[in-house]
């Protein structure tokens, strides 16, 4: 399939009646989840993934990515209105969003944030489209030895660059790999770690594991915390005034196109690096916006450029993150790991096959990101006030309802009661990992990559023998992994010595 064919087919599929309703539903769902503090983008995707079994690939991807793409928009809204970021990735928006609200410019900040999200996501999606010809050639150099070493490189990056402690994250990544070993070994047909249970013979199911790690765990935390999710809006504006300001904010975001472009580029490039994620990208972009601004002093006191910089980088990350996920099957974040699981469920394979035979699906993703963000912006423009009311739902209502949906989703994936048990066990594990600062992203990525790691290790040994990592690309990747790990371990001990002295 040529790129033009893939692009045309992808666009027609994305706007077809079989896909667009799923995209709109996903986008609205993501926006609502994003608005509610405590529920993250992972939660939206974990919930969405349960419905994929009964969907066509394009519709499933549109639903999943639609939900994912609007979460940051919803999160930005609450960061500005309530000083509570709906998701972690909106933390940088807190620096200038709430001060703008306090100056009576809440609508302006919301409009600028929504438009910047849309523009950033569009930039990231276009960057991904432009990367496809390059990736198609690069991916051909990646056989089993390269993929095996690349998987470890990605896990190392995720463990070290994530916000959690390095040792804990590495433990989590290895735990994820270990969990993937449960079930029948495909080479020798030996049952491993199943404790004689036939339910475990096919390994742990992905959907209940994802639901447990991200959705049940969030619910347990929310239940323990209790109460209402957000306070009243400080300095609320009238509906008409808010609307007027939102349109003005959108206009300002478009007029600052050069800043949007630069910050989006930062987001896209950082998205390519596994483990970095949206939050650091938003902070780097914020720093860049401040550094290059003529009015540095007003940053942190309500400068709209701070909001635009952070929000445009936030969503541009997805384009970069998708590139490595689709080309090599190596997810760089928990969201991408869930997306990869979704692709498995929909029967799609990443790597050369995705970039050559299923190029239309790649473009469905690209157009989904753009259209999803556009839908989010349009809904956000007109429904700011009703959307913000979602934050006043008490945990005592929200937790039982969402848990009921999660449990049903865990069952529905394979019609298995055993899977409900898996979701609950992973829920406890996810909750413990969250409160104890262990990276759930690293565990999930390890879990998703486990099968590929084992298969590629087996093939690498078969093809190139025990010194397969001495080939040029694996050797380079191994050296990068060791150097990166070494530098960080050295830094860890140096900091510790400093602390002790």
Q: Please report, as ranges, the residues that interact with other proteins according to CB under 8 A.
A: 51, 53-54, 167-168, 170-171, 174-175, 177-178, 181, 185, 187-188, 190, 192-193, 220, 223-224, 394, 396-397, 399-401, 403-405, 407-408, 411-412, 415, 417, 420-421, 424, 427-428, 431-432, 435-437, 453-454, 457-458, 499
For residues 333 and 321, give the distance between their C-alpha atoms in angstroms, rounded to a whole number.
8
Distance between start and end Cα atoms, the chain: 62
Residue 460 C-beta-side C-alpha neighbours within 13 Å: 22
How many CB atoms are located within 10 Å of the residue 397 CB?
A: 9
- Closest CB to other proteins among 260 and 422? 422
What is the closest distance, in whole angstroms, from the C-beta atom of residue 119 to other proteins in the complex?
Answer: 34
Closest to other proteins by CB, 92 or 166: 166
* Spatial contact of 414 and 199, defined as CB atoms under 8 Å apart: no
Minimum Å gap between C-beta 459 and other proteins is 12
**Residue 468 has what DSSP assignment?**
G
Cβ contacts of residue 404 below 8 Å, gap of 6+? none
> Which residue, 2 or 189, has its beta carbon nearer to other proteins?
189
CA distances in angstroms from 29 to 13, 318, 385, 394, listed in the order given: 21, 18, 16, 18
Q: Work out how close the CB of 226 gets to other proteins at its nearest, in angstroms, rounded to a whole number.
A: 8
3-class secondary-structure state, position 288: helix
Spatial CA neighbour of 233 closest among 369, 354, 387, 397: 387
Give the nearest distance from C-beta 400 to other proteins in angstroms. 4
Shortest distance (Å) from residue 399 CB to other proteins: 7
Instruction: Tell me if residue 192 falls in helix, strand or coil.
Output: strand
Nearer to other proteins, 2 or 54 (CB): 54
Nearer to other proteins, 174 or 473 (CB): 174
State the minimum distance, in angstroms, from the CB of residue 418 to other proteins: 10
Helices (H), 226-358: 239-255, 257-272, 278-291, 304-328, 334-345, 352-356
Q: In whole angstroms, how close is the CB of 426 to other proteins at the nearest point?
A: 12
Q: How far is the CB of 450 from other proteins (least distance, A)?
A: 8
> Which of residues 378 and 417 has its CB atom nearest to other proteins in the complex?
417
Nearer to other proteins, 21 or 104 (CB): 21
Pull the structure tokens for residue 390. Answer: 């979602």
Q: Which two tokens stand for residue 237?
A: 């504006």
Distance in angstroms (rounded) separating the CA atoms of residues 152 and 154: 5
Q: Is 302 left (phi over 0), alpha (psi -120 to 50) or beta?
A: left
Pick the closer one to other proteins by CB: 32 or 322.
32
């Amino acid at each position: 399939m040529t790129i033009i064919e893939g692009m045309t087919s992808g666009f027609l599929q994305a706007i077809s009646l079989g896909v667009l309703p799923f995209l709109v539903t996903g986008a609205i769902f993501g926006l609502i989840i994003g608005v509610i503090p405590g529920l993250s983008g992972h939660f939206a995707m974990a919930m969405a993934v349960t419905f994929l079994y009964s969907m066509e690939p394009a519709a499933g991807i549109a639903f999943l990515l639609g939900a994912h793409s609007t979460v940051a928009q919803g999160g930005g809204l609450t960061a500005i209105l309530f000083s509570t970021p709906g998701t972690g990735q909106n933390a940088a928006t807190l620096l200038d969003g709430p001060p703008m609200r306090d100056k009576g410019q809440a609508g302006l900040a919301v409009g600028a944030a929504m438009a910047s999200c849309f523009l950033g996501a569009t930039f990231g999606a276009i960057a991904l489209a432009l990367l496809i010809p390059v990736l198609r050639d690069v991916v051909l150099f990646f056989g089993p030895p390269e993929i095996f070493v690349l998987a470890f490189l990605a896990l190392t990056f995720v463990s070290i660059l994530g916000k959690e402690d390095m040792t804990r994250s590495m433990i989590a990544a290895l735990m994820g790999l270990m969990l993937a070993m449960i079930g029948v070994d495909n080479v020798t047909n030996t049952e491993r770690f199943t404790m004689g249970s036939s339910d475990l013979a096919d390994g742990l199911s992905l959907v209940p594991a994802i639901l447990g790690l991200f959705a049940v765990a969030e619910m347990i935390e929310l239940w323990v915390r209790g109460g209402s999710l957000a306070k009243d809006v400080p300095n609320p504006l009238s509906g008409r005034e808010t609307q007027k300001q939102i349109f003005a904010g959108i206009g300002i975001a478009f007029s600052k196109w050069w800043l949007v472009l630069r910050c989006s580029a930062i987001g896209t490039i950082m998205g390519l690096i596994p483990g970095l994620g949206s939050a650091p990208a938003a902070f780097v972009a914020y720093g860049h916006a401040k550094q290059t601004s003529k009015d540095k002093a007003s940053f942190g006191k309500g400068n709209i450029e701070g909001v635009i910089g952070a929000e445009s980088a936030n969503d541009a990350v997805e384009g970069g993150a998708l590139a490595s996920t689709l080309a090599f099957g190596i997810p760089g974040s928990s969201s991408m790991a869930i997306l990869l699981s979704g692709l498995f469920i929909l029967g799609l394979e990443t790597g050369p096959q995705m970039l050559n035979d299923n190029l239309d699906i790649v473009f469905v993703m690209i157009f989904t990101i753009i259209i999803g963000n556009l839908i989010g912006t349009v809904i956000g423009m007109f429904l700011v006030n009703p959307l913000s009311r979602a934050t006043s739902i008490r945990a005592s209502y929200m937790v039982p309802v969402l848990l009921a949906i999660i449990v049903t989703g865990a069952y529905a994936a394979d019609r298995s009661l055993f899977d409900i048990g898996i979701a609950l066990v992973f829920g406890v594990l996810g909750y413990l990992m969250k409160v104890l600062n262990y990276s759930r992203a690293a565990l999930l990525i390890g879990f998703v990559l486990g099968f590929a790691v084992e298969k590629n290790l087996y093939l690498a040994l078969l093809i190139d023998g025990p010194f397969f990592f001495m080939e040029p690309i694996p050797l380079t990747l191994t050296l990068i992994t060791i150097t990166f790990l070494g530098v960080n371990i050295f830094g860890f001990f140096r900091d510790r010595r400093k602390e002790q002295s």
